[in-house]
Structure 1
Amino acid sequence: MNITYLQEEIDKIVASSTKIDEKLQAICDFLEAEISYYDWVGFYFKNGDKEELKLAQFTGEPTEHTIIPFGKGICGQVAVSNENFVVQDVSEQDNYISCGWKVKSEIVIPIFVNGENIGQIDIDSHTANTFSAKDEELLMYICKKLSVIL
């Protein structure tokens, strides 16, 4: 994984003159295309004043999980903990919401705006034990860049 190249391309997307929704979709599409083991890439955001997340832009197979209550699944846990969550083997998680039988690992990184957790980027992989510190670094970089424009 060439972090420098990926960060430069993300910078171009974030700096583009397109609307926020289009930037988020472009990030999903770019990551899924560039990183072979990123099989589903999406954003969830807090759904107004409700204690739940709502699916926004994504790339990959459609999911029935368009609304996720806080605390439920990996995404819901990140909404409560405000911490990164890397799951190398989803079968070992008791509080896991399956998005499909192919998903073997997942990484979720929160997005903060003015210190508030407003959403997250969620990556699913069909490969177990695939995420590294480089993935976490890249996704944290993306979330930090997005926090400035959201």
Structure 2
Amino acid sequence: MFSQSTYSEDLSASYTMLSKQLDALLEGETNATANLSNASALLNQFFDQINWVGFYLMEDGELVLGPFQGLPACVRIPIGKGVCGTAANTKETVIVPDVHAFPGHIACDAASQSEIVVPIEKNGELLGVLDIDSPIKNRFSEQDKKGLEQFVQILVKHI
């Protein structure tokens, strides 16, 4: 059984490897849709206990559904609304241990219980957000936040 520090180090190493895999997978490809699609597939393969992973992209002042893995989802999310819109508005990662306790949560999948949303910025411009949902409460940790922010930094080089 892992101690908390061993688990944390192991998870950190896993995220570092995931980011390296992403970088290698996207190397040489310039199509943003293809790269976002492969990034969502890679994350879907990496995580356990999730039911949705994908991207919402800025378009005409709102978030619009992009490449994802999971059930059909909400297509448009206004900035400042729900978890995705809040992360886009603040340009900060948002971890929600219990989506039912989040004011204004937008329920696209009734099975979702917790969520993490990471803003995607390039040269100071918000491109969109990475959104991951889980069917269990308290799924996402500060370690996930750090690892996914690292993942997004690599992704930005390829979109």
- Structure 1 length as normaliser, TM-score? 0.91
Is 1:52 the counterpart of 2:97? The answer is: no
- Unaligned stretches of 5+ residues in structure 1: none
1:31–1:38: 8 Å Cα contact kept in structure 2? no
1:3–1:134: 8 Å Cα contact kept in structure 2? no
1:70–1:79: 8 Å Cα contact kept in structure 2? yes
Q: Deviations over 1:84-121 (max 9, x none)?
A: 10001001111100012110000000011111212110
Deviation at 1:134, TM superposition (A): 2.1
User: How is 1:7-86 mapped onto 2 (pairs within 5 angstroms)?
Assistant: 7-17=19-29, 19-47=31-59, 50-63=60-73, 65-86=74-95
- The percentage of aligned residue pairs carrying the same residue is 35
Is 1:98 the counterpart of 2:110? The answer is: no
How many residue pairs get matched? 147
User: Residue type matched to 2:123 in 1?
Assistant: N
Which one has more relative contact order, counting CA pairs under 8 Å at least 6 apart? 2
CA distance in 1 between counterparts of 2:134 and 2:88 reads 20
What is the DSSP-based 3-state SS (H/G/I as helix, E as strand, rest coil) of the residue aligned with 2:112?
coil
The residue aligned with 2:120 is: 111
- Unaligned stretches of 5+ residues in structure 2: 1-10
User: Residue type matched to 1:138 in 2?
Assistant: G
- Structure 2 length as normaliser, TM-score? 0.86
The residue aligned with 1:135 is: 144
- Computed over aligned residues only, the root mean square deviation of the Cα atoms, in angstroms, reads 1.4
- For the pair shown, which has the larger CA radius of gyration, 1 or 2? 2
Deviation at 1:57, TM superposition (A): 0.3
CA distance in 2 between counterparts of 1:147 and 1:3 reads 16
